[in-house]
Amino acid sequence: MDIRSAHFLISSPREAQCPPPDRPEYAFIGRSNVGKSSLINMLTGRNGLAKVSGTPGKTTLINHFLVNGSGEEKGWYLVDLPGYGFAKRSKKQREQWQQMLAGYLQQRVNLQTVFVLIDSRLTPQQIDINFINQLGAWGVPFNIVFTKSDKNKQSETARHVKQFLHTLSESWETLPEHFITSAVKKTGREKVLSYIDSLNGTL
């Protein structure tokens, strides 16, 4: 899929304030510093679109971007969700985040899938597994994007991916789609965009 236009629309504190659910939507989430902003910029080909390494944990907002939605085209929404694992978040902020996220993920009717980002340099982390299991409990469709694959040898990345999927298979009968990406080398861009394109086509 070609990206012809991409721009920031709005940040919303809760699902009810998000733009009308009138086009397919794809949300991105992961642990702080996993490479989410870099991935969003890489996919859209817009370097400053999502802020790379902004103030971690500062916000609990749902950030909407409109992609390929200019002129005659309806396009699709890309959503940047505040991630988990911020050490600096207060108890109150954590509760706000949880409420916002639970509401958004369970109520957003046009949400096609959630891209859960996993750092490909790491062995399986409990915090990621817990988050994925929570998605399962809510019945939210998701897939996995392994990030920063340029930082390790290919064999090491492959080992971590295998370990992660193996850990998931302990609680999941079928495994989700997964993608191996690097924002630096633009690895995986076409695959992720084709996947989005194929889901767009089902509407």
Please, which contacts does 134-137 make with residues 24 or more away whose CB atoms are closer than 8 Å?
135/105, 136/171, 136/172
- Shortest CB 90 distance to ligand GDP, Å: 19
- Shortest CB 139 distance to ligand GDP, Å: 25
The smaller minimum CB distance to ligand GDP, of residues 102 and 184, is found at: 184
| 198 touches ligand GDP by CB under 6 A | no
| 32 touches ligand GDP by CB under 6 A | yes
| 127 touches ligand GDP by CB under 6 A | no
Residues 142-171 that bind ligand GDP (CB under 6 A): 147-148, 150-151
CB–CB of 105/111 below 8 Å?
yes
Bridge partners of 84, per DSSP, are: 31
Number of residues lying near ligand GDP (CB under 6 A): 17
| 203 touches ligand GDP by CB under 6 A | no
- Shortest CB 53 distance to ligand GDP, Å: 4
Q: With 0-12 CB in 10 A as exposed, 13-18 as middle and 19+ as buried, what is 47?
A: exposed
- Shortest CB 185 distance to ligand GDP, Å: 7
Q: With 0-12 CB in 10 A as exposed, 13-18 as middle and 19+ as buried, what is 91?
A: exposed
| 122 touches ligand GDP by CB under 6 A | no
| 36 touches ligand GDP by CB under 6 A | yes
- Shortest CB 2 distance to ligand GDP, Å: 22
- Sorted by sequence, the CB contacts under 8 Å of residue 68 that are 6+ apart come out as 1, 2, 3, 4, 5, 6, 75, 76
CB–CB of 4/68 below 8 Å?
yes
Among 43, 62, 140, 183, binds ligand GDP (CB under 6 A): 183
Q: Which residues are near ligand GDP by CB under 6 A? A: 30, 32-38, 52-53, 147-148, 150-151, 182-184
